[in-house]
Amino acid sequence: MRKSSWILTGSAVVLVAASAVTRFTLYPDLHRIPSDADTTFHYRGTASLLNAPALQAGDSAHAFLRDLPVTLDWRVAVKDTSGETAVVLDRAVLRSRDGKQLNAARHTWAVDRRTLAERPAPAGSGAERHTGLVISWPLEPEKRDYRFWDTGIRKAVPARYMGQESVEGRDAYRYTVDATGPLADPATLKALPAALPRSAVTVLAAALPADRRPDKVVLAALPEAVPLTYTSTTARTGWVDADTGLALNGSLHQTVLARTQTPDGPVALFPVTDVTVKGAPASVRKQAQGASTAQRAWWWLSTGVPLGLLAAALLVTAVAVGLARRRAVADNGPAGDGGSAGDEREGAATPAA
């Protein structure tokens, strides 16, 4: 085999190997949460909160701040990675329209870099225990129900698949999550009073709409120091990109309600927080653009580049085969012509003998 044929054959082998490496090594390595991922999604909506200064002053008319315009900034950032595990910071900050911080929550999770389900927490990471999804959906979401961790009650609840819709021109799966139960988030519980004077409870009850106030007889029978427990109720909807698993949009309605136990059973007293928000249009557009970019990049790595390398390998192989055949014809042609001339000379000499 000529040197050029060896070079072409070797090039074809290299191209096939490069195709396999791109599809089965490079693509899986990149098709997961990047080690430097850091995104912030912005929500807008309203919130009703206790007004501590008014409560302390006994001003029942202003004990609640109702329907305040608010923003909720939700940041998800990878702090560290170890193999298929990502340690992720999950921080949400609720602010008033003028930028004043009203509330904040911070968590750290250990999740799988592809499925985003729970993973064993690396030593020293500080990641909280959880089960199921907690920050988003898998990179390859399916039309089925999942389990989603609710931070308020610290339990996994169903995330139900509700159908397919369009968000900013992209196909999205819609999931809903509903969770209710005793408030169990340690940070939130620490910030709430374990008891309040009956006078303060009466002031707060008086500030509620008439149809939501506790019965006056029940209030009058409460002890001087009213022990409190809290329930958390969360209703969230997520619109998830069907091709990349990126969250395109979301809505959240979360309430924390103060309750107390009476001889006749638990009694709801007053809401502590009531927040309703949905994705800001600019953030939704940005997420959709990011999903389009990610889809193109992953298509090139999983399909475009591997197929292109295979096509190049076939072309090089075809050229090598074509050159080999041309050389074979060129090498065999002169030998055949010489043989025919020899036969003619022998035939001409025989009669002369």
Q: What is the pLDDT of residues 111-164, one digit of tens each?
A: 999 999 999 999 999 999 999 999 999 999 999 999 999 999 999 999 999 999
Q: Report the pLDDT value the prediction gives residue 18, as an integer from 0 to 100.
A: 62
Q: Report the pLDDT value the prediction gives residue 19, as an integer from 0 to 100.
A: 61
CA neighbours within 13 Å on the CB side: how many for 84?
9
Q: 338: which 2 tokens?
A: 């010489």
Cα–Cα distances (Å) from 207 to 36, 64, 257, in that order, read 47, 7, 15
Q: Report the pLDDT value the prediction gives residue 311, as an integer from 0 to 100.
A: 77
Q: Rounded mean pLDDT of 63-81? A: 92
- pTM here? 0.80
What's the one-letter identity of residue 121? A
What's the one-letter identity of residue 26? L
Confidence class of residue 346 from pLDDT cuts 50, 70 and 90? very low
- Does the pLDDT of residue 351 top 50, yes or no? no
Confidence class of residue 329 from pLDDT cuts 50, 70 and 90? confident
Name the more confident of 341 and 138. Answer: 138
Q: 229: which 2 tokens?
A: 């427990």
The answer to whether the beta carbons of residues 228 and 269 sit under 8 Å apart is: yes
Confidence class of residue 314 from pLDDT cuts 50, 70 and 90? confident
- Does the pLDDT of residue 2 top 80, yes or no? no
| Separation of alpha carbons 1 and 295, rounded Å | 44
Q: Report the pLDDT value the prediction gives residue 132, as an integer from 0 to 100.
A: 97
Confidence class of residue 5 from pLDDT cuts 50, 70 and 90? low
pLDDT tens digits, one per residue of 172-222: 999 999 999 999 999 899 888 899 889 888 888 887 888 888 888 889 999
Q: 63: which 2 tokens?
A: 């004990």
Helix (H, G, I), strand (E, B) or coil at 100: coil
The answer to whether the beta carbons of residues 47 and 275 sit under 8 Å apart is: yes
- Does the pLDDT of residue 295 top 90, yes or no? no
| Separation of alpha carbons 353 and 344, rounded Å | 15
Confidence class of residue 297 from pLDDT cuts 50, 70 and 90? confident
Identify the weakest region by mean pLDDT among 37-46, 136-145, 207-216, 237-246.
207-216
Q: Report the pLDDT value the prediction gives residue 28, as an integer from 0 to 100.
A: 61
- Does the pLDDT of residue 343 top 60, yes or no? no
- Does the pLDDT of residue 350 top 80, yes or no? no
Confidence class of residue 302 from pLDDT cuts 50, 70 and 90? low
Q: Report the pLDDT value the prediction gives residue 285, as an integer from 0 to 100.
A: 96
Please give the order of strands across the beta sheet that includes 64-82.
101-112, 85-96, 64-82, 38-50, 265-279, 247-262, 229-241, 170-182, 155-167, 146-150
Q: Report the pLDDT value the prediction gives residue 247, as an integer from 0 to 100.
A: 95
The answer to whether the beta carbons of residues 259 and 231 sit under 8 Å apart is: yes
> If you average pLDDT over every residue of the chain, what do you get?
85
Name the more confident of 39 and 209. Answer: 39
Confidence class of residue 3 from pLDDT cuts 50, 70 and 90? low
> What phi, psi does 253 have (nearest 5°)?
-130, 115
pLDDT tens digits, one per residue of 19-29: 666 665 555 66
Burial class (CB in 10 A: 0-12, 13-18, 19+), 263: exposed
Q: 109: which 2 tokens?
A: 């999770």
- DSSP β-bridge partners for residue 172: 165, 241
What's the one-letter identity of residue 317? T
Q: Rounded mean pLDDT of 95-115? A: 94
* C-alpha closest to that of 89 among 68, 69, 71, 104: 104
| Separation of alpha carbons 16 and 72, rounded Å | 50
Cα distance from N-terminal residue to C-terminal residue, the chain: 46
